[in-house]
Structure 1
Amino acid sequence: MPYLLIRTNRQISEAEQSSLLAEASQIVATSLAKPEKYVMVGYEPTSALVFDSKPDPAVFLDLRSIGIPEPARKTIAGALAKCMVERLDVSADRVYLVMTDVPAKHWGQGETTFG
């Protein structure tokens, strides 16, 4: 049920995208102690992203999950930022991350919800 969306103005090849998605999926699964079979990760390249009035490479991460434990938040932030720095060649201070803890009754899969 965790979902991570990666938005960036950094263009990378399809092979690099696949590698980035696989690593990000593993980070989310491990950090949240969730089975990777429930983790979904998306990649949205964009040419229109400005941070600090500059079009330099930047990343916006949107992580949503049922249950994001407080102790895990800094670990997740650090691991995902490191991944973006290494995979997208972007400065860590140009990576934003929003984490949303979604109530189970508001998260569905197939024809039902988790709560």
Structure 2
Amino acid sequence: MPTLNLFTNIPVDAVTTSDILKDATKALSKIIGKPESYVMVVMHGGVPIVFAGTEAPAAFAEVISIGGLGQSVNAKLSSTIADILQTKLSIDSSRFYIKFFDSPRPFFGFNGTTF
């Protein structure tokens, strides 16, 4: 159930969004070690964001997972997501924050219940 919520102040067209969703899904699955069928990626483009006092291209992300996160995994995810943002949206890695949540199973719902 790894989930990536990605927010950027860049307006994103449908083709770019689709590319980011596919790339991020594959990356989360591979790096966290969970099947793609468990991964959710949510893209929010054109969100008002000020970072370091400017509205230059920037992003914020949250990764939520039940297990699979840790120092080395988080560092690899941060680097990979930053690369996707740089490649697809020209957002410099210095204008991107990411927060990681390792969620307890009962704090995440699915299929009308919790894990």
Superposition TM-score tier, normalisation by shorter sequence: over 0.9
User: Is residue 12–residue 46 contact of structure 2 (8 Å, CA) maintained in 1?
Assistant: no
Question: Where does residue 71 of structure 1 map in the other structure?
Answer: 72
Q: Give the superposition deviation at 1:47.
A: 4.2
Letter in 2 for 1:46: G
Q: Give the % identical residues.
A: 29
Aligned length: 114
**What is the alpha-carbon distance in structure 1 between the residues aligned to residue 49 and residue 34 of structure 2?**
31
Secondary structure of 1:54 counterpart: coil
Letter in 1 for 2:46: T
Letter in 1 for 2:75: K
1:91 and 2:92 matched: yes
Q: Give the superposition deviation at 1:33.
A: 0.2
- Relative to the length of structure 1, the TM-score reads 0.94
1:8 and 2:8 matched: yes
- Relative to the length of structure 2, the TM-score reads 0.94
User: Is residue 7–residue 47 contact of structure 2 (8 Å, CA) maintained in 1?
Assistant: no
Q: Which runs of 5+ in 2 are unaligned?
A: none
**What is the alpha-carbon distance in structure 2 between the residues aligned to residue 83 and residue 62 of structure 1?**
15
Question: Where does residue 21 of structure 1 map in the other structure?
Answer: 21
User: Is residue 32–residue 69 contact of structure 1 (8 Å, CA) maintained in 2?
Assistant: no
**What is the alpha-carbon distance in structure 2 between the residues aligned to residue 52 and residue 70 of structure 1?**
26
Q: Which runs of 5+ in 1 are unaligned?
A: none
- The runs of at least 4 consecutive aligned structure 1 residues that moved more than 4 Å come to none
Q: Give the superposition deviation at 1:12.
A: 2.2
Q: What's the RMSD between the two structures over aligned residues?
A: 1.0
**What is the alpha-carbon distance in structure 2 between the residues aligned to residue 96 and residue 113 of structure 1?**
28
User: Is residue 25–residue 41 contact of structure 2 (8 Å, CA) maintained in 1?
Assistant: yes
**What is the alpha-carbon distance in structure 2 between the residues aligned to residue 60 and residue 86 of structure 1?**
16
